[in-house]
């Protein structure tokens, strides 16, 4: 059961207080995997995924029947500096598209048999420009974390979180640069398609923000100073899912930046998560490497919305279906070599 999220102290205590996967379920799933009608290791990474999933669900023979996709939307004051090829109004328009079922993520969630929820976070009130001060106050950060915290369905058995927010590759790049170091150019990409001049401007903005806030504290402080409401909401949902023992499929660059803020506070905060894909945004692979996450897919996606994570749901479903549905050698009457 989730504690009520009232302030940052509560969130930090919750993030640091929960335990890991169910060891008995992990062992039971590993034992079962060794008895299935296949050569050892023949299903490759699917076997590891099924065992990992079983451990977090506390069931050596689990099923995936209730995946949930949540899309969070937010606007960013830093877009006034021309960091995106699209205007902030598109965020509102895309939220309406999500709600009417017309976006790519609607189709991908449906194909994966997932429910989909959309949460717009104060789109008429963008975060502050992080080159002049913190993007959010602590109160605003808690409010955004709480949106994600309470959006997770306790009855879900797999979670994908996605985002929509014009300009949000800029705060994601700033977060990554602040957490992992290096030059702003190492973490800043073209996002929705800025030209060379736009990329240079975007890199400047990221560098200014990191210079101002890099020493502000740990990952949650970095999230407050450089992030956005939708990024914080994703972090809140990912943290809540761990407490609820719901495995998570991470989406793209922005989702991974949100997750990185949690991992900076607690090294095993993402043990319940796998990377759904590696996006075409240049720095995404570098963030995944820092997180120790090997992506399930690499299809050149750069859409966001949770699209790559939703695509990966069926990989997880297939892994678990094979693990739980296959017969053992004894059950099938097949000789075990």
Quote the pLDDT of residue 178.
Answer: 98
**What interhelical angle do 196-213 and 169-180 show, nearest 10?**
50
Quote the pLDDT of residue 332.
Answer: 93
Quote the pLDDT of residue 19.
Answer: 82
Quote the pLDDT of residue 139.
Answer: 98
The token duo for 78 is: 């830093």
Contact status, residue 131 vs residue 272, Cβ threshold 8 Å: no
**What interhelical angle do 229-243 and 138-151 show, nearest 10?**
50
Alpha helices, DSSP H, located in the chain: 8-17, 23-33, 45-57, 89-99, 104-111, 138-151, 169-180, 184-187, 196-213, 219-226, 229-243, 253-265, 284-291, 307-325, 329-332
What span, in angstroms and rounded, lies between the C-alpha atoms of 127 and 33? Answer: 48
Q: Round the CA-based radius of gyration of the chain to a whole number and report it.
A: 20
Question: Buried (b) or exposed (e) across 45-59, using 16+ Cβ within 10 A?
Answer: ebbebbbbbbbbbeb
Q: Tokens 């297939």 label which residue?
A: 318
Element (H, E) at 175: helix 169-180
One of 3.20.20.80, 3.40.50.10210, 3.40.50.1370, 3.40.190.10 is the CATH number of 66-317, namely: 3.40.50.10210
Quote the pLDDT of residue 337.
Answer: 67
Catalytic residue among 47, 163, 208, 305: 305
What span, in angstroms and rounded, lies between the C-alpha atoms of 185 and 194? Answer: 14
Q: Based on the residue annotation, tell me whether 305 is a catalytic residue of this protein.
A: yes
The token duo for 150 is: 């309470």
Q: What is the pTM of this model?
A: 0.97
**Nearest Cα to Cα of residue 272 among 72, 1, 49, 6:** 49
Quote the pLDDT of residue 1.
Answer: 83
Q: What is the mean pLDDT of each run of 10 residues along the chain (337 residues)?
A: 94 92 98 97 98 98 98 98 95 98 98 98 98 98 98 98 98 98 97 94 98 96 98 98 98 98 98 98 97 98 97 98 97 87
| Helix%, strand%, coil% for the chain, nearest 5 | 50, 10, 40
Element (H, E) at 143: helix 138-151
């Amino acid at each position: 059961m989730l504690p009520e999220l009232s302030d940052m102290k509560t969130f930090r205590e919750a993030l640091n207080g929960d335990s890991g996967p169910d060891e008995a379920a992990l062992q039971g799933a590993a034992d079962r995997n060794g008895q299935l009608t296949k050569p050892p290791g023949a299903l490759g990474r699917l076997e590891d995924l099924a065992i990992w999933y079983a451990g977090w669900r506390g069931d050596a023979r689990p099923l995936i029947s209730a995946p949930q996709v949540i899309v969070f939307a937010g606007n960013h004051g830093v877009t006034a500096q021309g960091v995106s090829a699209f205007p902030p109004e598109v965020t509102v328009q895309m939220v309406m598209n999500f709600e009417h079922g017309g976006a790519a993520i609607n189709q991908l969630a449906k194909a994966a048999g997932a429910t989909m929820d959309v949460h717009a976070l104060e789109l008429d009130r963008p975060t502050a420009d992080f080159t002049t001060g913190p993007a959010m106050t602590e109160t605003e950060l808690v409010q955004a974390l709480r949106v994600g915290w309470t959006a997770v369905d306790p009855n879900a058995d797999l979670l994908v979180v996605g985002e929509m927010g014009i300009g949000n590759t800029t705060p994601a790049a700033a977060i990554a640069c602040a957490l992992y170091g290096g030059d702003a150019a190492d973490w800043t990409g073209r996002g929705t398609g800025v030209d060379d001049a736009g990329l240079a401007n975007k890199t400047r903005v990221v560098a200014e923000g990191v210079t101002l806030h890099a020493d502000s504290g740990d990952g949650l402080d970095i999230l407050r100073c450089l992030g956005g409401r939708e990024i914080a909401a994703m972090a809140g949902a990912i943290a809540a899912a761990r407490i609820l023992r719901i495995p998570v499929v991470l989406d793209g660059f922005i989702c991974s930046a949100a997750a990185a803020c949690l991992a900076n506070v607690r090294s095993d905060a993402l043990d319940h998560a796998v990377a759904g894909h590696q996006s075409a945004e240049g720095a995404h692979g570098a963030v995944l490497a820092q997180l120790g996450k090997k992506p399930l897919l690499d299809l050149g996606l750069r859409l966001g919305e949770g699209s790559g994570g939703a695509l990966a749901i069926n990989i997880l479903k297939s892994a678990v279906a094979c693990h739980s549905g296959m017969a053992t050698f004894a059950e099938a009457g097949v000789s075990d070599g």
